[in-house]
Structure 1
Amino acid sequence: MKTVKRLITAALLITAVYFPINAQQNMKNVLNPRQQNIAAIACLEAKGDLEKLSGAIHAGLDEGLTVNEIKEALSHLYAYTGFPRSLNGLGVLQQVLADRKAKGITDKEGKDADPLPKDFDALQEGTAIQTKLSGAPFNYTFAPATDYYLKAHLFGDIFARNNLTFSERELVTVSALSGIKGVEPQLKSHVRGAKNMGLTDAEIHSIPDILLQKVGETEAYRAKKAIAEVYGEEFKEGEPIENRVFPIGELNTAYAKYFIGNSYLAGLANGEGKLNVANVTFEPRCRNNWHIHHKGGQILICVGGRGWYQEWGKPARELNPGDVVDIPAEVKHWHGAAADSWFSHLAIEVPGENSSNEWLEPVSDKEYSKLK
């Protein structure tokens, strides 16, 4: 145990001494604090991460969002993320407000939506708003009832509430859809809608940076990919989206036969008398073969993205930044990236006399595809 602690401490010292620059310092962002916080709140609501959502709501209130603005954003999202997520989010908001009140914090209630005029025609108003958002008349003739709900309720009743602007509602929607797997067509549609509703190109391109900073790499990846496709920009599938603290290094050609997909290797400390430490980066879906470290183990310190680790005969373990895996000698295992995220970890070899690696069979697509 003492050896493990010494190895981890050494790795952290390497981080501090050789790579002191925070990755977020290089971000380009034009969204103001209100916009940043409302984007984070929306994405975390959609993701269902209630713990981080609580922190995001606290931050939003501290930085200028009103209670009614947050309430409206969470209510707006029931049309995109469903009532369960929306109600969970509103419940978190209630708890945050109660906690802050108990501490003597008075939060600004803010403006509620104005009452609708007596002659308000939700279908007519919603049709006009949907046309503006889509950039052309839109009719969902396959399901006429759904077409009516979209026009009269979503774009009529909900968008008519004027305590969020149309552009703010689209910022909320794009951020939320980035937190949901498998809704790429809708996400791209709302990227276009955000532009049509008044968000600038620079504001739209800032969304992935904010999601990376405040939510996670997977959500930022989805947003950046959708934005690139809408704007016709070059985007390599699985392209990294952050300036990482540790370098990615070179394509790992020497061990390519033991990996499915591309991996990258950056040696950090491998000289005589030093620990052998490397940063290993995996593209989405990339993973190494099952393998065993004989007579010497390995420690993984996760530093970016989302990945997986699995020992033979045991369930796979999801890995996120800050997680540490202590791999004993003689244990058959594999590790790699999630299907929708890049993944990086420091690999620290635990010294052993006459240690060696034994590479075994690949992790099949069938096995890997079971992981969510």
Structure 2
Amino acid sequence: MTYEEEAIQAHRFLTETDPEVFATMTNFAFKEVDGEIDIPRRSKDLSTIGYLLGCQATDEYRLMLPVFLAHGLTAIEVKEVLYQALDYLGMARVMPFFKITNEILQNRSESLPLPGQATTNEQTRLSKGEETQIRLFGPQMKDFSKKGTINRWLTANCFGDYYTRTGLSDQDRELITFCYLAAQGGVEPQLLAHAKANIRVGNDEAFLTKIVLQNVPYIGYPRSLNALKVIQEAANN
């Protein structure tokens, strides 16, 4: 089946109880929006996983993850999106997604655990984290870790433990971070910082705008409009 057919099929349980909304919802999400936004399938699906994590949409994630896997995303890529979410959403909000993901991967005969992707250890995570922050945000991040305990944790844990992993590129990682933040809302200062980092690594204003539009069906208009405003601000600064 095509992506559109599989995505619609995943929601077919609504046809008996809510046929009108089923038709309206799926036509908008999987025909109009998905058909109009001209970015690679991989970028669309990585971003949507980030959005579903950010808005805690476990039921929708369970429906759509098999579709994403059937149309190009790898198990490693999916797991890397989950792992990085730990720092932006917290382990308490990410744990349910691990259970769903592992069940779906095992049903697809994936061998778990997957091959390791770590490139740092206890001795290098802080220095490599700082290198990553400087690469993504600029030279002003030098010695950021020395400004407080949470700064040190952010450098060593978020950027040293996760951003340095293989499996996703800098562009991928900044993209999914933007998506976590846009979906959860109320974190506009961090969303602005990561919009700027996205632009810095090559995810330009036009691309980020399309990412937001692609995911309007999943999080609705208010948070999407807020994200679009932040992108404009980042591009103008």
Fold-level similarity (TM above 0.5): yes
Secondary structure of the 2:227 match is helix
Return closer, same or farther for 1:118/1:143 CA change in 2, 3 Å cut-off. Answer: closer
Structure 1 CA distance, aligned partners of 2:72 and 2:78?
A: 11
Matching residue's letter, 1:144: G
RMSD (Å) for aligned C-alpha atoms: 3.1
| Preserved CA contact (<8 Å) 1:68 1:109 | no
Query: Which residue in 1 is equivalent to 2:119?
Result: 116
The 5 A counterparts of 1:34-183 are 34-98=42-106, 101=107, 105-106=108-109, 112-116=115-119, 121-138=124-141, 140=144, 144-183=148-187
Structure 2 CA distance, aligned partners of 1:91 and 1:106?
A: 15
The Cα of 1:33 is off from its aligned counterpart by: 1.2
The Cα of 1:95 is off from its aligned counterpart by: 2.9
Matching residue's letter, 2:124: D
Percent identical across equivalent pairs? 23
The Cα of 1:108 is off from its aligned counterpart by: 9.0
The Cα of 1:181 is off from its aligned counterpart by: 2.3
Structure 1 CA distance, aligned partners of 2:203 and 2:35?
A: 23
Structure 1 CA distance, aligned partners of 2:211 and 2:91?
A: 24
Secondary structure of the 1:161 match is coil
Return closer, same or farther for 1:208/1:117 CA change in 2, 3 Å cut-off. Answer: closer
> 1:222 aligned to 220, 223, 226, which one?
226
TM-score, length of structure 1 as denominator length: 0.50
Return closer, same or farther for 1:176/1:115 CA change in 2, 3 Å cut-off. Answer: closer
Structure 2 CA distance, aligned partners of 1:128 and 1:209?
A: 32
| Preserved CA contact (<8 Å) 1:173 1:190 | yes
Structure 1 CA distance, aligned partners of 2:101 and 2:121?
A: 32
Return closer, same or farther for 1:158/1:25 CA change in 2, 3 Å cut-off. Answer: closer
The Cα of 1:25 is off from its aligned counterpart by: 7.0
Structure 2 gaps, min length 5: 1-18, 25-30
Matching residue's letter, 2:48: A
The Cα of 1:213 is off from its aligned counterpart by: 3.9
The Cα of 1:179 is off from its aligned counterpart by: 0.9
The Cα of 1:50 is off from its aligned counterpart by: 0.8
**Residue by residue, what CA displacement relative to the aligned partner does 1:259-305 show, whole Å, maximum 9, x if unpaired?**
xxxxxxxxxxxxxxxxxxxxxxxxxxxxxxxxxxxxxxxxxxxxxxx
Higher relative contact order, structure no. (Cα contacts within 8 Å, ≥ 6 residues apart) = 2
Structure with bigger helix share is 2
The 5 A counterparts of 1:162-311 are 162-232=166-236
Matching residue's letter, 1:151: T
Structure with bigger strand share is 1
The Cα of 1:163 is off from its aligned counterpart by: 1.1
Structure 1 CA distance, aligned partners of 2:118 and 2:48?
A: 29
Structure 2 CA distance, aligned partners of 1:55 and 1:141?
A: 40
The Cα of 1:96 is off from its aligned counterpart by: 2.5
Matching residue's letter, 1:224: L
Return closer, same or farther for 1:51/1:166 CA change in 2, 3 Å cut-off. Answer: same
| Preserved CA contact (<8 Å) 2:84 2:162 | yes
| Preserved CA contact (<8 Å) 2:182 2:223 | yes
Aligned residues: 210
Quick check: 184-193 or 206-215, which moved more? 206-215
| Preserved CA contact (<8 Å) 1:39 1:207 | yes
Secondary structure of the 2:183 match is coil
Secondary structure of the 1:162 match is coil
Return closer, same or farther for 1:180/1:67 CA change in 2, 3 Å cut-off. Answer: same
Structure 2 CA distance, aligned partners of 1:168 and 1:110?
A: 22
Quick check: 163-172 or 142-151, which moved more? 142-151
Secondary structure of the 2:186 match is coil
